[in-house]
Amino acid sequence: MTTRRATITDVAALAGVSVATASKALNGKDDVRATTRQLVIDAATQLSFQPNVLAQGLLSGQTRTVGLLTSDMVGRFGIPVLLGAENAFGAGEMAVLLCDARGDAIREQHYIRTLLSRRVDGLIVVGESTNPRPSITKDVPVPVVYAYAPSDDPADVSFVPDDEGGARLAVRHLIATGRTRIAHITGPTDYKAATDRDRGIRGTLDEAGLELAGETLYGAWSQRWGRLAADMLLLNEPKLDAVFCGNDQIAAGFIEAARERGRRVPDDIAVIGYDNWEVLSEETRPTLTTIDPDLERLGHTAAQHLFAAIDGKATPGVHSMPTRLVIRDSTAPSMPEL
Amino acid sequence: MTTRRATITDVAALAGVSVATASKALNGKDDVRATTRQLVIDAATQLSFQPNVLAQGLLSGQTRTVGLLTSDMVGRFGIPVLLGAENAFGAGEMAVLLCDARGDAIREQHYIRTLLSRRVDGLIVVGESTNPRPSITKDVPVPVVYAYAPSDDPADVSFVPDDEGGARLAVRHLIATGRTRIAHITGPTDYKAATDRDRGIRGTLDEAGLELAGETLYGAWSQRWGRLAADMLLLNEPKLDAVFCGNDQIAAGFIEAARERGRRVPDDIAVIGYDNWEVLSEETRPTLTTIDPDLERLGHTAAQHLFAAIDGKATPGVHSMPTRLVIRDSTAPSMPEL
DNA sequence: CTACGTTACGAAAACCTTTTAGGTGATTTC
DNA sequence: GAAATCACCTAAAAGGTTTTCGTAACGTAG
């Protein structure tokens, strides 16, 4: 177990050639006879030789390593993004150095220094909300790509979920299934996701000649708020036939409260959530129609664009990534005059 | 941005000393005059010099990097463990190479090779259940520590949550608050966590001269199963006054079904969950008393022991990590004869 | 003044790989 | 028969850092 690992010198010696030839043989370069190459390869496998990545990196200046700087892994959104990114990097034979700054700017600075001293080839910054975050691109001599939370500098490369589009998708689905009096319950106003979606909803309703039922109810991202808002809404908007909820938790709360008030979902009221958080959206009764922001794909795409940026082909700007509508039971078509 | 990074040679030149002296000055070695040292340090800061970790690693044979091999980041349990580990490594100036094998043995092998070719100093393997997993220690020339899922080789170093102890904690709490007819709803039988906890429950009941109410109900880890099991249990065990649920989802389902059957929680029946998954345990009505397996600490401890193992001080065996009882509203003391 | 110890610094080797420039022997070309 | 070409291989340098060893300069004891 503690036996020294074989170097290319050992391989060359065993194969009876020089180090240079061994290197060329193993790296598929020309100028080496087929028989010689086989000799070297055999020697390498026999010694289970693996080139020292440090020495390679020292020489080439490339480490084939990227830093993954996440601001808060406890939250729900960073993980899938990170997962998608990790997957893309793994396929590209890149290694991922993971750093969780826990939303602390000091920790973030510390980690940036650490990553740079390790000579990462690039950096991917994963946020926890879609609110823009401070750019670090200018402080760093390698390409940076932002995922989920965009950089506040529009010249940087950012990938964000298309919240406005997701909301449009949802509302079009509600309208297509015969709903006309649609309300909106969502999280706090200082979340860009909440206001973006509100814009999408109002735009889509407008195009259909409809209006939002009541005012947008801004609150919290919790089930508790979903219940509370449901109580208010069911009282004030008796003719309500659909509600768009800012996340699946709010939707779950709404469904719960609606049933307690004797309203049937989806027969009386259709409910649509956001995030497609499956532990919730598949456990509500009825199961929850929701918008899936496809975060894993977002992370994957961001990683691929970091590759491109490392190769000098950056694509600046804030890129909106499409969302998907996942139809379950909470939005079955209403049957008017039944 | 593309300006070449400063090397120690640049620093030495600027300070007017040799490379060797510069190195010694920066690394706090003796044999360098205080004034000279300051000169070097000033030069280094002026050039914002950062030593090339590759060169250091090449020389020392240590990369100050560990591999973090997780089998399934999608699940809920790997993340906190991973988080605790990352935190410990960050503090120790170690970097973490993240690999998610997604429960696929082929991917795992691939990642192990990759990590070894990067000369990691050690490996931490994070599982998704507490069932033992195949050991990789013998295939790998560096120390390995297993977290959450133990290795199937007892000579390896593993850290697992103390499920039996957690169950004891829960049952003692129920008994202390006056409950005597306690049932157990949990996940599938092939989860070691489920059977371990069952053993803990029966042991504790035994010591108190009590018996389990009905048979242990093995099913799934879902809210749906919690509801189903509740319906069965409330029918067959009319005198039931407490239930220990295998996770918070089952508990949430139980609470929901119990309310629909007209049973009050905690007045009629106390409910205790497992995992302290706060998005659920703080959103149920009433909020859920539960066992917190303290996974972040588990990950942290595992990481620290990997350090020790890298320094040659391994601590073989399967180490059970203590759990915590988190008391909320679902287990308020029963008031007999009220 | 010699011998020796101490202090402060520098030269060079070592870590491992890849690449460049060159060298050797054999074959072909004029 | 000399020169050029070709195929194959090797020596050496480069990359950045740390460490070992050597060497001055200087002071002190004899």
Percent of chain B topping pLDDT 70: 97
DSSP string covering B242-300, please? EEEESSHHHHHHHHHHHHHTT--TTTT-EEEEES--HHHHTTSSSPPEEEE--HHHHHH
Shared domain check, B187 and B226: yes
User: Could you tell me how many CB contacts below 8 A there are between chain A and chain B?
Assistant: 107
- B2 inside 8 A of chain A by CB: yes
Minimal Cα–Cα distance from B172 to chain A, Å? 30
- B7 inside 8 A of chain A by CB: no
pLDDT of residue A335: 63
Torsion angles phi and psi, residue A311, rounded to 5: -80, 10
E strand or H helix at A53, and its extent? helix A53-60
Contact A83 B73 (CB under 8 A): yes
Shared domain check, B239 and B308: no
In B, which residues are within 8 Å of A253 by CB distance?
A: 283
Closest residue to D7 by CA to C1' distance?
A31
Question: Would you place residue A337 in the very low, low, confident or very high pLDDT band (cuts 50, 70, 90)?
Answer: very low
Rg (CA), chain B: 27
pLDDT of residue A336: 56
User: Residue B142 CA to nucleotide D20 C1', Å?
Assistant: 28
- Return residues 46-105 of A near B (CB < 8 Å): 50-55, 57-58, 63, 65, 68, 73-74, 79, 82-83, 86-87, 90, 93, 95-100
Shared domain check, A316 and A270: no
- Read off the pLDDT of residues A72-125 as tens digits, 9 standing for 90 and up: 888 889 999 999 999 999 888 899 999 999 999 999 999 998 998 899 999 999
CA A65 to each of CA A83, A95, A121, B96: distance values in angstroms, whole numbers, following the listed order: 16, 5, 6, 11
pLDDT of residue B17: 93
- A223 inside 8 A of chain B by CB: yes
In B, which residues are within 8 Å of A101 by CB distance?
A: none
The conformational region for residue A148 under phi > 0 = left, psi -120 to 50 = alpha, else beta, is: left
In A, which residues are within 8 Å of B53 by CB distance?
A: 117-119
Question: Would you place residue B334 in the very low, low, confident or very high pLDDT band (cuts 50, 70, 90)?
Answer: low
Residue B1 domain flag: no
Q: Are strands B217-218 and A65-70 parallel, antiparallel or unpaired?
A: unpaired
E strand or H helix at B164, and its extent? helix B163-176
With a cut of 50, say whether residue B2 has pLDDT above it: no
Contact B141 A68 (CB under 8 A): no
Please compute the mean of the pLDDT values over residues B292-304 and round it to a whole number. Answer: 97
Residue A73 domain flag: yes
pLDDT of residue B7: 93
Q: Tokens 């990369």 identify what position?
A: B63
Mutate which: A56, A73, A118, vs B, most B CBs within 10 A: A118
Shared domain check, B32 and B101: no
How far is the C-alpha of B334 from the C-alpha of A37, rounded, in Å?
80
Residue A57 domain flag: no
Residue B203 domain flag: yes
With a cut of 90, say whether residue A256 has pLDDT above it: yes
Question: Would you place residue A218 in the very low, low, confident or very high pLDDT band (cuts 50, 70, 90)?
Answer: very high
In B, which residues are within 8 Å of A279 by CB distance?
A: 249
More confident residue, A5 or B125: B125
Residues in CB range of B159: below 8 A, 6 or more apart? B145, B146, B147, B148, B150, B298, B301, B302, B305, B318, B319, B321
Residue B56 domain flag: no
- Domain boundary at B253, B274, B293, which? B293
Q: State which residues form the domain around A114.
A: 63-161+295-322
Shared domain check, A102 and A37: no
pLDDT of residue A271: 98
Protein-contacted bases of chain C (C-beta within 7 A)? 7-12, 14-22
Rg (CA), chain A: 27
Question: Would you place residue B4 in the very low, low, confident or very high pLDDT band (cuts 50, 70, 90)?
Answer: low
CATH number at residue A43: 1.10.260.40
How far is the C-alpha of A244 from the C-alpha of A198, rounded, in Å?
10
Lowest mean pLDDT among A83-92, A219-228, B196-205, B239-248: A83-92
pLDDT of residue A328: 97
Shared domain check, A206 and A117: no
Shared domain check, A207 and A124: no
DSSP conformational letter for A138 = G
User: Across the interface, which of A65, A90, A222 has its CB nearest the CB of B99?
Assistant: A90
- Read off the pLDDT of residues B155-171 as tens digits, 9 standing for 90 and up: 999 999 999 999 999 99
pLDDT of residue A286: 96
Shared domain check, A221 and A197: yes
For the segment 47-106 of chain B, residues whose CB is within 7 A of strand D: 49-52, 55-56, 58-60
Residue A328 domain flag: no
Contact B114 A97 (CB under 8 A): no
User: Across the interface, which of B82, B87, B98 has its CB nearest the CB of A96?
Assistant: B98
How far is the C-alpha of B226 from the C-alpha of B254, rounded, in Å?
5
A242 touches strand D (CB under 7 A): no
Residues in CB range of B230: below 8 A, 6 or more apart? B185, B243, B253, B254, B256, B257, B258, B261
CATH number at residue A312: 3.40.50.2300
Question: Would you place residue A338 in the very low, low, confident or very high pLDDT band (cuts 50, 70, 90)?
Answer: very low
With a cut of 80, say whether residue B336 has pLDDT above it: no
How far is the C-alpha of A283 from the C-alpha of A247, rounded, in Å?
14
Question: Would you place residue B224 in the very low, low, confident or very high pLDDT band (cuts 50, 70, 90)?
Answer: very high
Question: Would you place residue A30 in the very low, low, confident or very high pLDDT band (cuts 50, 70, 90)?
Answer: confident
Residue A281 domain flag: yes
Shared domain check, A134 and A35: no
A53 touches strand D (CB under 7 A): no
Number of separate domains in chain B: 3
- Tell me what the pLDDT averaged over chain B comes to: 93
Residue B115 domain flag: yes
E strand or H helix at A310, and its extent? helix A295-310
Asked if B254 and B185 touch (Cβ cutoff 8 Å), the reply is yes
Contact B141 A55 (CB under 8 A): no
How far is the C-alpha of A111 from the C-alpha of A124, rounded, in Å?
12
Shared domain check, A78 and A127: yes
Shared domain check, A299 and A157: yes
Question: Would you place residue B338 in the very low, low, confident or very high pLDDT band (cuts 50, 70, 90)?
Answer: very low
Please compute the mean of the pLDDT values over residues B50-64 and round it to a whole number. Answer: 91
C1'-nearest nucleotide to the CA of B58: C15
Q: How many CB atoms lie within 10 A of CB B61?
A: 12
Please compute the mean of the pLDDT values over residues B100-108 and round it to a whole number. Answer: 93
How far is the C-alpha of B328 from the C-alpha of B326, rounded, in Å?
6
Please compute the mean of the pLDDT values over residues B127-156 and round it to a whole number. Answer: 96
Closest residue to C7 by CA to C1' distance?
B31
Q: How many CB atoms lie within 10 A of CB A327?
A: 14
Ranges assigned E (strand) in B57-181? 65-70, 95-100, 122-126, 144-147, 157-161
Q: Give the residue from B111, B165, B157 showing the smallest Cα distance to B309.
A: B157
Shared domain check, A77 and A105: yes
How far is the C-alpha of A149 from the C-alpha of A191, rounded, in Å?
11
Q: For B1, name the nearest residue in chain A, comparing CA atoms only.
A: A141
Burial label, A215 (beta-carbon count in 10 A; 0-12, 13-18, 19+): exposed
User: Residue B20 CA to nucleotide C4 C1', Å?
Assistant: 27
A222 touches strand D (CB under 7 A): no
How far is the C-alpha of B63 from the C-alpha of B94, rounded, in Å?
9
